[in-house]
Amino acid sequence: MVNHNPRKSVMTLFSSPNCAMSHCVRFAMYEKGVTTEIEYYDPSEPPEDLLELNPNAISPTLVERDLVLYDSRIIMEYLDERFPHPPLHQMDPVSRAKARMIIKRIDQDWYQLLDEILQSGEKKSARAKKMLKESLISANPVFKAQPFFMNEEFSLIDCALAPLLWRLPSLGIELPGEALTAYAERIFRRPAFIASLSDIEKEMNPASK
């Protein structure tokens, strides 16, 4: 979607300070070393300049000159193509397609459960927490197989997954399994991940202390 906004001459990311999808974008931005203005806002009171660009005030919303994007996965892909170094996708089409499918599965299998936990009542939330923990336990061998998630090198897949794992302690879910815990600790120590955290997100996990 394209809109004209002469006031935004530099790249700007509008972000809720506790939005996991926006956190994914911020993580990718810092890994790419992209110079961006991050404007945190309260979703219940979105700023007028955001409403002019995106009437639904969706977080995240990326603005660069006359371009307005408001889907986190599209934004991440755009950043990786707009700023090709360092690449966060492998270069060949087959590997890129596989990575996109993995991110889609992360969204469908794990982020949907996260949304259910955050938006549901206590009973339904408890069920979703149990399902999420069991699903992560079943994935432990995958985390053990390679240094990064289903990859020898850090990629957009890790940018997509890490914000979900970061939020688990605040939901009362311990990281299940030695391999998953070791993976998460490696990712959480990355300077880009540390820089990507909002003040609210720092309070979600004792690892930031």
Query: pLDDT (tens digit, 9 = 90+) per residue, 45-82?
Result: 989 988 888 888 889 999 998 899 989 999 999 999 99
How do residues 12-28 score in pLDDT, each as one tens digit? Answer: 999 999 999 999 999 99
Look up residue 176 and give its DSSP letter. Answer: P
The residues, any chain, with a CB within 8 Å of residue 9's CB and separated by 6 or more, are 65
Task: Kindly tell me if the per-residue pLDDT of 122 is higher than 80.
Answer: no
pLDDT attached to residue 37: 93
Decide which of 51 and 193 is more confident: 193
pLDDT attached to residue 2: 38
Burial class (CB in 10 A: 0-12, 13-18, 19+), 51: exposed
Mean per-residue pLDDT over the chain, rounded: 90
Task: Kindly tell me if the per-residue pLDDT of 169 is higher than 60.
Answer: yes
pLDDT attached to residue 8: 53
Give the whole-angstrom CA distance, residue 112 versus residue 115. 5
- Per the CB < 8 A criterion, the answer to whether 156 and 98 are in contact is no
Please give the average per-residue pLDDT across 132-137, as a whole number.
93
Domains located in the chain, CATH noted: 93-190 (1.20.1050.10)
The residues, any chain, with a CB within 8 Å of residue 92's CB and separated by 6 or more, are none
pLDDT attached to residue 88: 94
Please give the average per-residue pLDDT across 142-163, as a whole number.
94
The residues, any chain, with a CB within 8 Å of residue 116's CB and separated by 6 or more, are 124, 125, 128
